[in-house]
């Protein structure tokens, strides 16, 4: 404390002696006035800054000068004052490396001997606390081939600067000073990383170095955009790879991409891209080199392709193989194919798709064989290609309809016929071991429908009022994945048209079948002509076509015609009769007795034939004399009407004993028919799957000719 007091006292005394003060407590204004009174003349010095800079920064060296005009060449002594602090310097110049504490007003005064000038006007000095940073700017950052670009450097809010320029030639090299310029501009023709800094004063004060600006030089290289895989057709959403390819060697490149003139954030040579409708370009960079932009590559994605499934056969016998074929439309290459079974979803109208065994990784072939197909089933396919794999949509389900005589479920139609009139109601009933059913159809207009979507589904029964577009196939599906048999339904759209009444379900061999023709308001028509596979069955009009025992050969398309009106045609399916349990016995136990019985019957019939004198048929011998005796045995007829037949299994042959005046099944002669009658008992043999038995005699029956006089033998047993 004592030392501090002594210092203050010493300073006070020195000040009093220098200025001539007699009163130490006078304020500043009084002091200035007294000094002015004692000064020489009215000289007032001026404080000036060596460099008239608008802003001074912390760390800069500042020089203030106290200038006295009119003072002649006399040597002056100077005193400086900063605000209320006095300095002890006697120099004309106040020099200092400034900090924030040097902010304030500065004045000076001059003394020559006993003469003292006035105090100068105050000079305000402001020191910024932060060191400034230079800013570099480039109007263009890419030098075109053979061109130049101009850079500029500046220090905002201050002046008096010159500039140092730096260039970095590679990423690993440090920046090198390339030029010091008194102005702010630099013109360059080489690529690199450029920066600058400002400098002023003596000693030199430097700003912070600017941020870097990258200047790239264009080289005369033009890359190409290459599509991989180079497929003729690319589909929208499919992943493709675009490659920016540069021919020949060169530096290590990185890449830039543009889509529709918008920069993409990637530096890779390859770009995985979902195919769309866009234009792509690329260029390559290496350090500070830059290639030209490639030509525009136009990527056009087609609409998603369609998978189309076909099955062969659509209608098959149980145990046969089924071939699935999958086609991609529009046609294109590189696909693998996946195969699924369509399984009905419970409580839904849709299907689950389950991969078939051997299809989990796809197949290169577009076909797939399913061996030993026994039941009705639905199938679906789709195709995939690429990495990641791009898939088509699932195909529409296709069904294989099995002629299984014992399907897992059964569909019955009421009324039981294929053809129906428009607006008439039809009932479709599902039967099987399920409590949840749905009736589906695939119509001729290629639409899928479900009963609940078109009318009333009550339990396992669907009732529908038919429309013109309802012709198609119908079937049942259960919630447990079972399929029924299939029923064809054909809608007659003409109110005044006719329909053929034929069974909706397949008929069994040996069963009787009746076909008829009707109008909408009249059940049964007369004067009807019937056709089988477009061939007229009989040329005499009748009400019904009756087949006493249907054969496999009767299967086919039928239609009827009445008064110039023709019905649609319908398919009548014939299935094999279920084998009798006897047929499963050992052939040794069956063939012997059957052969014996046949032999006995043949002997009896042969004996009766030889003894009979009243034949309507001619017995023809191998000798020439047989033709002479034949004329004496004609003209006698008997009037029996009974028709009987017996079916034998095993080594089976069907023998039909037709007695005199019998009416056989229709017999086709070309496109017409003839009725056959016999005047004696005739034996006709129809052999199944075996060579006919060879006899030495031939028996012919009389054939009544049609109006055109045509005739045909009705049955023959010949050697």
Give me the CATH number covering residue 287. Answer: 2.60.40.10
How many CB atoms sit inside 10 A of residue 372's CB?
9
User: Which phi-psi region, left, alpha or beta, contains residue 380 (left: φ > 0; alpha: ψ -120 to 50)?
Assistant: beta
In-domain check, residue 521:
no
Q: How much is the pLDDT for 363? A: 95
In-domain check, residue 430:
no
pLDDT category at 620 given cuts 50, 70, 90 is: very low
Per-residue pLDDT at 634 exceeds 90: no
In-domain check, residue 692:
yes
Model confidence pLDDT, tens digit, residues 188-217: 999 999 999 999 998 999 999 999 999 999
pLDDT category at 323 given cuts 50, 70, 90 is: very high
Do residues 467 and 490 lie in contact, with contact meaning Cβ atoms separated by under 8 Å?
no
**How many Å apart are CA 651 and CA 590, to the nearest integer?**
8
Do residues 597 and 612 lie in contact, with contact meaning Cβ atoms separated by under 8 Å?
no
| More confident of the two residues 626 and 111 | 111
Among 3-17, 227-241, 477-491, 497-511, whose mean pLDDT is lowest? 3-17
Q: Do 596 and 689 reside in the same domain of the chain? A: yes
In-domain check, residue 172:
yes
Do residues 379 and 316 lie in contact, with contact meaning Cβ atoms separated by under 8 Å?
no
What total of structural domains would you count in the chain?
6
Q: What is the pTM of this model?
A: 0.52
Q: Do 191 and 238 reside in the same domain of the chain? A: no
How many CB atoms sit inside 10 A of residue 58's CB?
17
Q: Do 44 and 77 reside in the same domain of the chain? A: yes
Q: Do 214 and 145 reside in the same domain of the chain? A: yes
Q: Do 689 and 649 reside in the same domain of the chain? A: yes
Phi/psi at 643 (5° precision): -120, 125
In-domain check, residue 552:
no
In-domain check, residue 284:
yes
Residue that terminates a domain, selected from 372, 402, 432? 402
What does pLDDT average to over the chain?
A: 76
Q: Do 320 and 279 reside in the same domain of the chain? A: no
Q: How much is the pLDDT for 587? A: 47
Nearest Cα to Cα of residue 558 among 496, 497, 502: 502
Sequence-distant contacts of 563-568: CB under 8 A, at least 24 apart = 563/527, 565/496, 565/497, 565/498, 566/498, 567/419, 567/492, 567/497, 567/498, 567/499, 567/500, 567/517, 568/419, 568/490, 568/492, 568/499, 568/500
Q: Do 200 and 100 reside in the same domain of the chain? A: no
Residue that terminates a domain, selected from 300, 322, 338? 300
Average pLDDT value for residue range 97-117: 88
Per-residue pLDDT at 33 exceeds 80: no
pLDDT category at 548 given cuts 50, 70, 90 is: very high
Phi/psi at 102 (5° precision): -90, 5
**CA distance to 194, 504, 676, 678, per residue, from 658 (Å):** 118, 32, 10, 8
In-domain check, residue 525:
no
pLDDT category at 512 given cuts 50, 70, 90 is: very high
Residue that terminates a domain, selected from 218, 233, 251? 218
User: 408-441: buried (b, 16+ CB within 10 Å) or exposed (e) per residue?
Assistant: bbebbbeeebbbbbbeeebebbbebebeebbbbb
Residue 273 is encoded by which pair of tokens? 């891209």
Q: Using the 8-state DSSP alphabet, how is residue 641 labeled? A: -
Q: Do 205 and 314 reside in the same domain of the chain? A: no
Do residues 640 and 663 lie in contact, with contact meaning Cβ atoms separated by under 8 Å?
no
Q: How much is the pLDDT for 580? A: 52
Most confident of 139-148, 657-666, 694-703: 139-148
Per-residue pLDDT at 563 exceeds 70: yes
With pLDDT > 90 as the criterion, what percentage of the chain qualifies? Answer: 34
Domain extent, residue 692, equals: 585-704
Alpha carbon dihedral 459, 465, 468, 473, in 10-degree steps, equals 20
Per-position DSSP letters for 387-415, written without gaps between them:
TTTEEPPPPPPEEEEE--SS-SEEEEEES
- Counting every residue written for the chain, the total comes to 719
**H or E segment at 63?**
strand 61-67
Most confident of 59-73, 126-140, 631-645, 682-696: 126-140
Q: Are strands 487-492 and 472-478 parallel, antiparallel or unpaired?
A: antiparallel
Angle at 158 between CA 154 and CA 164, to 5 degrees: 40
Among 284-293, 472-481, 545-554, whose mean pLDDT is lowest? 472-481
With pLDDT > 70 as the criterion, what percentage of the chain qualifies? Answer: 73
Do residues 151 and 191 lie in contact, with contact meaning Cβ atoms separated by under 8 Å?
no
Q: Do 237 and 153 reside in the same domain of the chain? A: no
Q: Using the 8-state DSSP alphabet, how is residue 147 labeled? A: -
Average pLDDT value for residue range 542-559: 92
Among 69-78, 111-120, 493-502, whose mean pLDDT is lowest? 69-78
Q: Do 603 and 696 reside in the same domain of the chain? A: yes
Per-residue pLDDT at 701 exceeds 90: no
Q: Do 678 and 593 reside in the same domain of the chain? A: yes
Residues facing residue 448 across a β-bridge: 442
Among 71-75, 317-321, 474-478, 713-717, whose mean pLDDT is lowest? 713-717
Residues facing residue 388 across a β-bridge: none
pLDDT category at 26 given cuts 50, 70, 90 is: very low
Phi/psi at 113 (5° precision): 65, -120
Helices and strands (H, E) in the chain, number of each type: 5, 63
In-domain check, residue 664:
yes
**How many Å apart are CA 453 and CA 451, to the nearest integer?**
5
Q: Do 62 and 93 reside in the same domain of the chain? A: yes
């Amino acid at each position: 404390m004592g030392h501090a007091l002594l210092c203050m006292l010493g300073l006070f005394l020195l000040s009093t002696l220098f200025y001539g003060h007699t009163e130490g407590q006078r304020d500043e204004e009084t002091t200035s006035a007294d000094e002015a009174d004692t000064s020489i003349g009215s000289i007032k010095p001026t404080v000036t800054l060596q460099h008239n800079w608008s802003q001074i920064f912390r760390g800069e060296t500042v020089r203030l000068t106290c200038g006295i005009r009119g003072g002649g060449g006399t040597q002056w002594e100077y005193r400086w004052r900063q605000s209320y602090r006095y300095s002890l310097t006697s120099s004309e110049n106040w020099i200092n490396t400034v900090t924030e504490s040097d902010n304030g007003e500065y004045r000076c005064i001059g003394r020559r001997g006993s003469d003292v000038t006035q105090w100068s006007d105050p000079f305000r000095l402001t020191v910024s606390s932060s060191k400034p940073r230079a800013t570099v700017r480039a109007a263009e950052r890419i030098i075109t081939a053979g061109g130049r670009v101009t850079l500029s450097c500046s220090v905002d809010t201050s002046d008096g600067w010159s500039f140092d320029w730096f260039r970095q030639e590679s990423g690993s090299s440090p920046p090198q000073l390339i030029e010091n310029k008194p102005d702010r501009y630099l013109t360059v023709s080489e690529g690199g990383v450029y920066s600058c800094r400002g400098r002023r004063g003596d000693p030199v004060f430097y700003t912070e170095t600017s941020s870097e600006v990258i200047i790239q030089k264009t080289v005369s290289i033009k890359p190409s955009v290459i599509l991989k895989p180079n497929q003729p057709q690319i589909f929208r959403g499919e992943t493709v790879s675009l490659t920016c390819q540069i021919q020949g060697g060169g530096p290590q490149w990185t890449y830039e991409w543009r889509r529709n003139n918008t920069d993409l954030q990637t530096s890779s040579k390859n770009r995985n891209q979902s195919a769309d409708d866009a234009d792509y370009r690329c260029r390559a960079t290496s350090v500070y080199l830059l290639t030209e932009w490639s030509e525009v590559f136009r990527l056009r994605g087609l609409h998603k392709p369609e998978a189309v499934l076909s099955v062969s056969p659509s209608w098959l016998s149980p145990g046969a193989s089924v071939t699935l074929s999958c086609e991609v439309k529009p046609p294109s290459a590189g696909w693998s194919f996946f195969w699924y079974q369509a399984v009905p979803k419970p409580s839904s109208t849709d299907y689950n798709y389950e991969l078939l065994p051997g299809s989990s990784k796809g197949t290169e072939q577009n076909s797939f064989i399913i061996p030993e197909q026994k039941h009705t089933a639905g199938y679906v396919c789709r195709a995939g290609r690429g990495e990641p794999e791009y898939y088509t949509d699932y195909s529409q389900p296709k069904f294989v309809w099995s002629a299984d005589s014992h399907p897992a479920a059964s569909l019955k139609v009421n009324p039981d016929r294929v053809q129906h009139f428009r607006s008439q109601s039809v009932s479709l009933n599902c039967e099987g071991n399920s409590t949840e059913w749905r009736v589906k159809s695939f119509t001729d207009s290629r639409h899928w429908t479900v009963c609940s979507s078109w009318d009333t589904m009550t339990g396992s029964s669907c009732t529908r009022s038919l429309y013109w577009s309802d012709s198609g196939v119908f079937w049942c599906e259960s919630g447990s994945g079972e399929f029924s048999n299939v029923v064809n339904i054909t809608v007659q759209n003409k109110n005044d048209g006719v329909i053929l009444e034929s069974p909706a379900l397949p008929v069994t061999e040996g069963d009787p079948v009746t076909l008829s023709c009707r109008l909408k308001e009249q059940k049964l028509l007369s004067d009807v002509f019937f056709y089988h596979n477009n061939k007229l069955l009989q040329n005499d009009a009748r009400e019904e076509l009756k087949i006493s025992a249907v054969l496999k050969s009767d299967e086919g398309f039928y239609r009827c015609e009445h008064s110039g009106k023709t019905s649609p045609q319908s398919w009548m399916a014939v299935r094999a009769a279920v084998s009798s349990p006897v047929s499963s016995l050992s052939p040794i136990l069956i063939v012997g007795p059957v052969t014996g019985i046949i032999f006995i019957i043949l002997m009896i019939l042969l004996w009766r034939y030889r003894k009979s004198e009243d034949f309507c048929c001619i017995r023809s011998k191998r000798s020439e004399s047989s033709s002479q005796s034949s004329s004496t045995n004609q003209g006698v007829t008997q009037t029996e009407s009974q028709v009987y037949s017996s079916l034998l299994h095993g080594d089976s042959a069907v023998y039909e004993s037709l007695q005199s005046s019998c009416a056989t099944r229709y017999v086709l002669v070309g496109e017409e028919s003839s009725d056959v009658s016999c005047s004696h008992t005739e034996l006709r043999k129809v052999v199944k799957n075996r060579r006919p038995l060879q006899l030495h005699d031939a028996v012919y029956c009389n054939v009544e000719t049609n109006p055109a006089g045509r005739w045909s033998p009705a049955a023959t047993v010949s050697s």
